[in-house]
Amino acid sequence: MEKKAAFNSKVLPYLLLAPSSLIILIFLFYPALETFRLSAYRTDAFGFRKMFVGFDNFSELLVSPDYGKALVVTFFFTLWVVVIGLSVSLALAVLANQKVRGIRFYRTAMIWPYALSTAIAGAIWAFLFDPSAGVLNYFFSIAFNFKPKWLTSQELALGVIVATTVWKNLGYNIVFFLAGLQNVPEQLKEAAALDGANSWKIFWRITFVLLSPITFFLLIMNVIHAFFDTFGMIEVMTQGGPARATNILIYNLYRSAFVNHDVGTASAESIFIFILVMFVTLVQFRTAGRRVHYQ
């Protein structure tokens, strides 16, 4: 008969939890509470002199045309990152799921960009799209005798940031899609084929339906990634320009806090982003979440 370990002391479990709890309190809960507090104040550059203004910081954000533009840019940026990113990732995962020679090498090549930091990914793509010395413009000049100004054009800059973000996050999406594809029962696809279904119908009626939990998970994670994890990329490539064309909400928050030294407005912006992401996530659970089918 196995003996189970027993703790005679009621204090010991709390002592074991104390280090982790202390770290969470200091680095998570305290900054969050301080953000809510500072959002009701106007402060100087160092946060020493404070003047209570209530909800004025929030009301100024709602009527600010610059913040409104940042909100619109963030919406389209997130939309394209999610739609293009998930579509391309699923297509590549289907290809990576094929049984061909050297498939492990191809899978590794698809996944490795995720190991890069956002700043490094931004630097690589900034070199590629450099208007004077970039590799892409070299081929454009040879083929079309034309060099687009990728990062200084309002029409093109956001598209470049979207492409960079999609490329950076491909590996993460492919890993999950590939794992899901490898767990789809072959018996279901064989039965559908015997009933006369072609490959296209088998994929959309069986494979894609069984991938719905993974797709829903990646939908939420890609939205969060687009909102929060692209700051370093934008800082390296465009600094929110040209003319605020790539100034998404998280970068606007950085400018308010560390460029304009407006701690109160920056705190209000962070709360606004938190509420917005929470709202978007709840909408996703209420809409797309209902179409998720678990085996």
CATH number at residue 135: 1.10.3720.10
- 8 within some domain: no
- Which residue ranges in the chain fall short of pLDDT 50? none
Classify 43 as helix, strand or coil.
strand
Integer Cα distance of 160 and 165 in angstroms: 9
- What is the chain's alpha carbon radius of gyration, rounded to the nearest angstrom? 24
- 104 within some domain: yes
- 121 within some domain: yes
- pLDDT value for 5: 59
- pLDDT value for 2: 59
- 140 within some domain: yes
- pLDDT value for 171: 92
- 108 within some domain: yes
- pLDDT value for 25: 94
- pLDDT value for 155: 85
- 25 within some domain: no
198: containing domain: 69-291
The domain total for the chain is 1
- pLDDT value for 125: 92
- 100 within some domain: yes
Contact residues for 291 (Cβ-Cβ < 8 A; gap 6+): 212, 216
Q: Which has the closest alpha carbon to 247: 127, 116, 81, 76? A: 76
- pLDDT value for 261: 84
Q: What is the mean pLDDT of the chain?
A: 87
Q: Which has the closest alpha carbon to 156: 86, 75, 279, 246? A: 246
- 94 within some domain: yes
Residue 10 DSSP class: S
Structure tokens at 250: 């998280």
How much is the pTM?
0.88
